[in-house]
A = this chain, B = another copy of it.
Amino acid sequence: MSAKRVPVAVLGATGYVGVELLRVLSRHPGVELTFVSSEQYRGKRASEVYPALIGWADLVLEAPDPEAAAKRADVVFTALPHAAAAPIVAELRKLDRLVVDPSADFRLKDLDAYAKWYGHPHPAPELVKESVYGIPELYRDALRTTRLVAAPGCYPTCSLLGLAPLARAGLIKETVIIDAKSGTSGAGRGAKVEQLFSEVNDDFRAYAVAGHRHAPEIDQELAAAGASAGALFIPHLLPLTRGMECTMYVKVASEPALDRLFSDAYRNEPFVVLRGAEPPTLSEVRGTNRCAIGWRYDARTGYAIVMTTLDNLGKGAAGQAVQCMNVALGLDETAGLDAPALVP
């Protein structure tokens, strides 16, 4: 391997976001995996847990020790549960490592909102201001110089990429309805009865109708983009492993120039695919870092309909985290992320 490769660590490497980080980073030409951790499987090779990684990620899994990680890596991904991530992030920042945090701990700027939705005070409030919300299409400049990336949730990424151009154009003045559908890998690899194959297969349902933790994150970023109203967000569970779709309903006063809005926003974005009137599919983005966007104006009712798809573990988590790292390190933004989806 080239001496110039940046050494990187993944903490929490055997969860679903963690293993996707391993998959992407192991074929990334500009980095080298030097440290991987897993409480549950420490002492095993990552490729023993996931045989798909044989020959790609054969490192032995260690305890999630931030000092050890910092000793061996310049960049650390903290694919850990919320609340568990923050103190480790804090320690890694003290050791001046570039941290990309896919946990929820640094996404909400409002500490009260964090306390309310996550049920405990923020574990490292002083770092919240320092962090940059990790959607490069929205915050690329800030990401170029940050040392702490708050990688966003899959639902916020999927909905915000579709809504930001409308919000910036001042078109979001009434509650936006976000009808979102996600594959099961978004629920993680914890052993839960409701995630068993026999429970999920052939089924479909809404969940967390009362309020999902991603809702305040969506509202925060909608407001940041210029929306004067928030979202009504209802997630649903799809019987498939990877993929997320949002169908979004925006009441507008008159027909907006949707084609132009989306083209202006994303024409040069390598990971946004504009599909025009064609509804995007999950299959075209699975395993990639892409977000596909379709749209339609319904003259009869005065609604703009925006449909977005992405892979909840790709652009919705690990892929975007690597994209943020690329930006922060000044690498080619697409490095390690350039492969077409598997079809069929």
Contact = CB atoms under 8 A, between A and B. Distances in A.
A242 B341 CA distance: 14
Interface stretch (A63-71, A79-87, A158-166, A186-194): A186-194
B193 A191 contact: yes
Question: Most chain-B Cβ atoms within 10 A of its Cβ — which of A51, A192, A242, A339?
Answer: A51
A258 interface: no
Interface string A45-65: 000001111111100000000
Interface in A231-287: 232, 234, 236, 238-243, 245, 247, 249, 273, 275, 277-287
A2 interface: no
A53 B343 CA distance: 9
A54 B241 contact: no
A203 interface: yes
A118 to B, nearest CB: 19
A65 to B, nearest CB: 24
Contacts of A195: 196-198
A179 B217 CA distance: 23
Contact of A245 (B55, B184, B197, B204): B204
B203 A185 contact: no
Interface of A: 16, 19-20, 23, 26-27, 50-57, 175, 177, 179, 181, 183-185, 189, 191-193, 195-207, 209-210, 230, 232, 234, 236, 238-243, 245, 247, 249, 273, 275, 277-288, 292, 294, 296, 298, 300-303, 305, 307, 309, 338-344
16 contacts: A23-B343, A52-B288, A181-B181, A195-B196, A195-B198, A197-B197, A202-B240, A202-B286, A203-B283, A204-B240, A204-B243, A204-B282, A206-B294, A207-B279, A232-B298, A249-B249
